[in-house]
């Protein structure tokens, strides 16, 4: 059982009203409707409640692993709504044996057992085959099912994306899947959804540290001002920090510049210490995601929560930099376009 719909187009706000409704009546109403086998009875109330958070959010109720049900409120791929959905989740009550909560679609334990019966005929996900080709840090995926020959392209893609979501979870699809093609032609070297999960999970494990956080890599390049060195978290993607949607760039000049425009030993130590200070002042309301250095300037890239005063704290800290004027710019950037040029 997995059911849901988009929110109604008549709302917009913060999660307070939703969780108040859920606590006072929504949880009981939804639980009773599900227990009676009549989930349709709570569709309209849930849709209206979700719309008080934002009218363009999607939602669904799905089977849980640690609870009977999981209520999912998701931006459904809309980067402008990631932070809104994450704030909804952060305000959620503690999970219990009946209900848990998520701001992204979760993977199914056995995606190959799923049968989809809502598009004019059954599609058994056990008959799905895929190929996955690594392109940079992400896999370009081709998906086939025998019934795709009977479906138009939008319907084929709908099935393909649902199969990926149920196999990997919505977040891992965003992080590790590049292009998705749904083909009506059988795949000579195709394999099943469970095997795809294993491939992607192993790849993801190779790009996180021992605490499960994004790893860092070094990049090199050339600019008109000489060589460029960059240190970047991977994957460099907003799904790694959904509540952080404001890009903060700190352009830091340094006094000890070598002939190639990179910092000497003394300035390098000062820059590293300054980055540590930036990270400390951001605390839980922001994250350093990259820095790049060329032509006597280091630019530190961070993303912060728009509801916090993190930008003001960074500006105050920048004023203490001794080797010239450190310039801070900040702008809304839910897609992390400000660091797209550093994506590996």
The backbone torsions φ and ψ at residue 129, rounded to the nearest 5 degrees and listed phi first, read -125, 150
Range of the domain at 326: 215-342
pLDDT in tens, 260-313: 999 999 999 999 999 999 999 999 999 999 999 999 999 999 999 999 999 999
85 in the same domain as 39 = yes
pLDDT in tens, 238-255: 999 999 999 999 999 999
Average pLDDT over residues 88-95: 95
Cross-strand partners of 132? 141
Q: Is the pLDDT of residue 161 over 90?
A: yes
Q: Is the pLDDT of residue 121 over 80?
A: no
317 in the same domain as 219 = yes
**pTM, entire model:** 0.84
Q: Report if residue 292 sits inside a domain.
A: yes
Q: Report if residue 297 sits inside a domain.
A: yes
Range with top average pLDDT, 32-36, 205-209, 220-224, 320-324: 320-324
77 in the same domain as 146 = no
132 in the same domain as 83 = no
Distances in Å between the Cα of 90 and the Cα atoms of 73, 102, 250, 290, 332 are 12, 9, 28, 26, 21
75 in the same domain as 27 = yes
Query: Under the phi-then-psi rule, with left for phi > 0, alpha for psi from -120 to 50, and beta for the rest, what region is 113?
Result: alpha
Predicted confidence band of residue 119 (pLDDT cuts 50, 70, 90)? low
What is the pLDDT, as a whole number, of residue 12?
46
How far is Cα 225 from Cα 343, in angstroms, rounded to an integer? 21
Contact 181, 143 (CB under 8 A): yes
Average pLDDT over residues 213-219: 89
Q: Report if residue 210 sits inside a domain.
A: no
What is the pLDDT, as a whole number, of residue 118?
60
pLDDT in tens, 45-74: 999 999 999 999 999 998 888 899 999 999
123 in the same domain as 75 = no
29 in the same domain as 90 = yes
Q: What is the CATH number of the domain that holds 249?
A: 3.30.70.240
How far is Cα 266 from Cα 310, in angstroms, rounded to an integer? 28
3-class SS of residue 283: helix
Nearest to 171 by CA among 233, 295, 79, 90: 79
Contact 299, 250 (CB under 8 A): yes
Location of structure tokens 């392109």:
135
Taken in order 246, 201, 168, 188, is the CA torsion positive or negative? positive
Q: Report if residue 254 sits inside a domain.
A: yes
Q: Which of 102, 126, 148 is the last residue of a domain?
A: 102
135 in the same domain as 92 = no
Cross-strand partners of 250? 300, 328
What is the pLDDT, as a whole number, of residue 41?
83
322 in the same domain as 227 = yes
Contact 247, 301 (CB under 8 A): yes
Q: Which of 172, 205, 238 is the last residue of a domain?
A: 205
186 in the same domain as 96 = no
What is the pLDDT, as a whole number, of residue 344?
67
Token digits of residue 63: 């089977």
222 in the same domain as 181 = no
Predicted confidence band of residue 116 (pLDDT cuts 50, 70, 90)? confident
Q: Are strands 286-294 and 226-234 parallel, antiparallel or unpaired?
A: antiparallel
93 in the same domain as 122 = no
Q: Report if residue 9 sits inside a domain.
A: yes
Alpha helices by DSSP H, 118-264: 153-168, 170-176, 193-205
Predicted confidence band of residue 225 (pLDDT cuts 50, 70, 90)? confident
What is the pLDDT, as a whole number, of residue 5?
47
What is the pLDDT, as a whole number, of residue 231?
96
Cross-strand partners of 3? 61
How many other C-beta atoms lie within 10 A of the C-beta of residue 294?
Answer: 20
3-class SS of residue 144: strand
Contact 199, 206 (CB under 8 A): no
Domain count, the chain: 3
What is the pLDDT, as a whole number, of residue 196?
98
Q: Report if residue 184 sits inside a domain.
A: yes
Q: Which of 149, 170, 205 is the last residue of a domain?
A: 205
């Amino acid at each position: 059982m997995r059911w849901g719909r988009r929110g109604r187009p008549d709302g917009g706000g913060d999660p307070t009203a939703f969780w108040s409704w859920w606590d006072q009546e929504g949880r009981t109403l939804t639980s009773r409707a599900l227990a009676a086998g009549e989930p349709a009875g709570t569709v309209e109330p849930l849709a209206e409640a979700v719309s008080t958070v934002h009218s363009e959010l999607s939602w669904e109720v799905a089977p849980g692993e640690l609870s009977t049900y999981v209520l999912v409120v998701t931006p459904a791929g809309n980067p402008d709504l990631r932070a809104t959905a994450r704030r909804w989740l952060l305000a959620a009550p503690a999970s219990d044996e009946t209900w848990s909560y998520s701001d992204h679609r979760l993977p199914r334990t056995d995606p190959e057992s799923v049968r989809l019966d809502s598009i004019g005929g059954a599609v058994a996900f056990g008959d799905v085959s895929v190929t996955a080709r690594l392109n940079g840090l992400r896999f370009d995926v081709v998906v086939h099912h025998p019934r795709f020959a009977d479906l138009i392209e939008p319907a084929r893609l709908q099935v393909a994306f649902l199969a990926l979501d149920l196999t990997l979870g919505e977040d891992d699809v965003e992080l590790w899947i590049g292009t998705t093609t749904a083909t009506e032609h059988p795949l000579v070297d195709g394999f099943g959804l469970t095997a795809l999960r294993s491939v992607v999970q192993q790849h993801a494990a190779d790009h996180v540290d021992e605490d499960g956080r994004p790893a860092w890599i070094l990049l090199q390049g050339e600019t008109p001002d000489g060589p460029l060195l960059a240190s970047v978290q991977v994957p460099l993607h907003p799904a790694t920090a959904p509540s952080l949607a404001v890009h903060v760039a700190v352009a830091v000049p340094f006094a000890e510049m070598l002939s190639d425009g990179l910092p000497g030993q003394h300035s390098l130590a000062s820059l590293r210490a300054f980055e540590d200070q930036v990270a400390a002042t951001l605390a839980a309301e922001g994250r350093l995601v990259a820095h790049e250095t060329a032509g006597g300037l280091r630019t530190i890239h961070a993303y912060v929560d728009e509801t916090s005063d993190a930008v003001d704290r960074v500006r105050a800290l920048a004023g203490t930099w001794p080797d010239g004027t450190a310039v801070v710019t900040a702008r809304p950037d839910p897609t992390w376009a400000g660091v797209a040029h550093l994506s590996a």
